[in-house]
Structure 1
């Protein structure tokens, strides 16, 4: 080869057994002798051999490193496979356990027991309103704290936005919501933050089993409620006795006993299926055996015993979280033919209570006294004539002057003629009350000091308020 500045140049190949390692370029100002060239060739061969050995060593080191890497990779894969097999085995074991629990019919308590056994943490179930349904494990609060509706809704929305269980304070919480409807909350109490992936897995499987359980219970409740409603609707409207007795036996209720009709109304709750189920659970909790239906604005129970004066109301207060409810109870019914009339009595008792000073609580029809003759079925035209005779001038005055003379008179009688109590309830001064009472005497022409006038005025105000709804 030609190299500038040199008259002789050769590129001698450095050949190994398997490959050409490169070239050794040799230049000279004069042509080498045969002996020099032979020596040069020998040196090239030795160099090529040395390079072959060096390359072989390097390849051997690379092969050894690759082998070591492959062995480490194989070891890691083996560990990962063992972990996956173990995890799959744990998943299958948890799934099988929860399936067995669900199949056993043990309900919510069986699920929380299984979850507590798997995790070692206290497990609990709350309904969607935050009331405890089941707890397994130590440190159960006693009494269990009453839920705050606003905070409960905030918590449900916060958990619903996330995928999987959510930690809120010392609890790991997941929603129980088959088909998107929230039926309750399943939680683990994890004060030391010990929950791992296996704990989360167990909680999720338990929530799935619980969702099936609660959905099944809800479906059964809906079927039972529908059967109850159809029977009670027919009883309230009047039905054939033989058919009613047969249908009542089918739902496990004895209609041969005497019964009371109970009407339940809560001012801040719509009388829908959810509220009807709440009333049914509350009635069962206080030992009432009853059939149930719902009407526009209220829920109706046909109970086989006289309800306790306060038990059902207080149970519903606890269930709803509010005291704004009214319950009316009929007189005793000895035959199925009486039930439609008893239903009217229960409505009358509820109506009287809702128009009284203490609107909330339980009222029995057989304790209404005078109001029993002012119930449904009476001649409203005669009642209106009576009211007009005694209160007509006051009603006209109130209408023309936007005053409240009739209301003042009714409240005066409700307070037993007590000036201070009447003034306080109307939020007016005592002297204002005296002025109004004098104006009432002047306008109506009736004397409150006269026994007959006072009795008739009091009855007239009650009829005006209860029967006529406080309208002229």
Structure 2
């Protein structure tokens, strides 16, 4: 073995490797070469230990004499290798003469075949690029007695090598981070350029799939559309099959789950359940416009998101939000413009009828031609009314296209109005079929069946206003009697006419004059005089029959009727008096119960927000 001075000098050569900026493979070859040359060993190798598969793999080798009896192997079973023992104990393993080793029979066989004797294996405090632990092994062709100084010298070499390897890892990580940063900055520029150039959201989706190197899914809440760059489960669905599936019920389910997740501001990841056996985990990012969620970006990337990837996600969110903002503005402009025109008509706020007709024609709507009105009243979900309007708008437009029915869709808060031009030869059944399909589709989307009313044919501004009032009265009747689904005017009989009459000032004055004081007294004193009076009239003014129906003693009933007469001057002794009170009670019940308490809108609902 070398003397102490030469060993100290040789450490300088090993230490110089720490400042080398070469790649890791070159560093490992230089390190094992320095260990063998300065430690006077004939053969040496650096191995990574693959614990998962039970092998030690040679990554770098040095040999002082190339004249070997046969090529050396690069893979060892851990069961026959002392490398595992060195790692477990984290101390060197010394085999004085491998040719006589009983503990490692594999080494004894190879030592005899290849002509080496002493083996020294050191664990290294470092890992390879895949995170696997490493060991350094040196051998001699003759038997060598290794002293404590020899062990200390080799320990210093191994320690310096571990420092160099760690530095190489950091250098490699820095290069990778710089490259990723360059890629992210380039992606920001390309995404912004695509948006400013007016590119489509389909193109952006494809670009994001390439940038993330993973499948992405872009959801547009206003258009109720899903755009995929590629399939996240290629073994189950190919790209085209995945996109086709997103157009069906699975896509609507994903859209609902993602919208709920974005609305409730849940975790940054979401699990999508597609059937009984398929579930997908995705990273979710909401797309906002004016502090309103208008879409979402899903990335099917299982790796942990580092800072640069988060920066890329923010860049993608910005580009997609700008792109979706155009869709939102266009949607709002079209719907609000048509909605304002519609309300000017039904509220009779127009001054020049010809001007209204010209404005409608610019929007593609002919008000002078016959049309039929179809009004859809959404289920009561006040926390998501905007979402219902958007989803309903798209669903009705798709259904109309499928049934080849031309429609103009007007958003009116928690409802949609479809103006269907009455083309020559178009029958009511065609519009009724559209109404039925709308009811069925929205039931699956909202989880509750809407009210869909098909009105009569109308033509001109005043006719449209009257038909809207009649359709709205029909909706009020349907709410009163708990009816849902598609329905037409004959389904209701005279009820809409009675409600329309009850809304008039003369009829309300009649109700107030007949029973108004009773209503106010009951509200103020929590009494039940109106209930008693209604029950008495329903029973045909028979005291015993009424008392039995109300579960009262007949004396108590007569006392209440006496108080009603004294307080309010109401008599029902003659047929004329009885008819007037009964009519007032019926009209009052019809008006008050037509819309649930606390949720009674104006006669014409206005668009929210």
* TM-score using structure 2 length: 0.48
Query: Which residue of structure 2 lines up, in the alignment, with residue 361 of structure 1?
Result: 485
Pair 268,79 (structure 1): closer, same or farther in 2 beyond 3 Å: closer
String of CA shifts for 1:396-454, please: whole Å, max 9, x gaps.
9x996478579889999xxxxxxxxxxxxxxxxxx999946999xx99999xxxxxxxx
User: 1:301 and 2:417 equivalent?
Assistant: yes
User: 1:374 and 2:487 equivalent?
Assistant: no
Task: Give distance in 2, aligned partners of 1:233 and 1:187.
Answer: 39
Pair 407,203 (structure 1): closer, same or farther in 2 beyond 3 Å: farther
User: 1:114 and 2:207 equivalent?
Assistant: yes
User: 1:184 and 2:295 equivalent?
Assistant: yes
What's the offset of the Cα at 1:348?
A: 1.0
What's the offset of the Cα at 1:375?
A: 4.0
Aligned residue for 2:412, secondary structure, equals strand
Task: Give distance in 2, aligned partners of 1:58 and 1:377.
Answer: 112
String of CA shifts for 1:264-306, please: whole Å, max 9, x gaps.
35433279665544443343233262252536xx546251244
Pair 467,332 (structure 1): closer, same or farther in 2 beyond 3 Å: farther
Task: Give distance in 2, aligned partners of 1:407 and 1:128.
Answer: 50
Aligned residue for 1:369, secondary structure, equals coil
Pair 332,303 (structure 1): closer, same or farther in 2 beyond 3 Å: same
2:267 is matched with which residue: 158, 161, 165?
Answer: 158
Aligned residue for 1:157, secondary structure, equals coil
Task: Give distance in 1, aligned partners of 2:535 and 2:210.
Answer: 66
What's the offset of the Cα at 1:353?
A: 0.9
Structure 2: runs of 5+ lacking an equivalent: 25-167, 272-279, 401-405, 422-430, 540-544, 562-570, 574-578, 596-609
- Are 1:233 and 1:293, in contact at CA under 8 Å, matched by a contact in 2? no
String of CA shifts for 1:122-154, please: whole Å, max 9, x gaps.
42234679x763344254466424746997368
Query: Which residue of structure 1 lines up, in the alignment, with residue 399 of structure 2?
Result: 286
Task: Give distance in 2, aligned partners of 1:273 and 1:386.
Answer: 38
Aligned length: 380
String of CA shifts for 1:82-103, please: whole Å, max 9, x gaps.
5355324533554455446544
- Are 1:409 and 1:461, in contact at CA under 8 Å, matched by a contact in 2? no
2:330 is matched with which residue: 210, 220, 230?
Answer: 220
Task: Give distance in 2, aligned partners of 1:376 and 1:292.
Answer: 23
Aligned residue for 1:310, secondary structure, equals helix
Residues 342-351 or 145-154, more deviating = 145-154
Aligned residue for 2:367, secondary structure, equals coil
Query: Which residue of structure 2 lines up, in the alignment, with residue 229 of structure 1?
Result: 339
Larger Rg: 1
1:133 is matched with which residue: 211, 220, 226?
Answer: 226
Task: Give distance in 1, aligned partners of 2:227 and 2:534.
Answer: 50
Task: Give distance in 2, aligned partners of 1:246 and 1:410.
Answer: 56
User: 1:211 and 2:321 equivalent?
Assistant: yes
- Are 1:126 and 1:134, in contact at CA under 8 Å, matched by a contact in 2? yes
What's the offset of the Cα at 1:58?
A: 11
2:457 is matched with which residue: 332, 340, 344?
Answer: 332
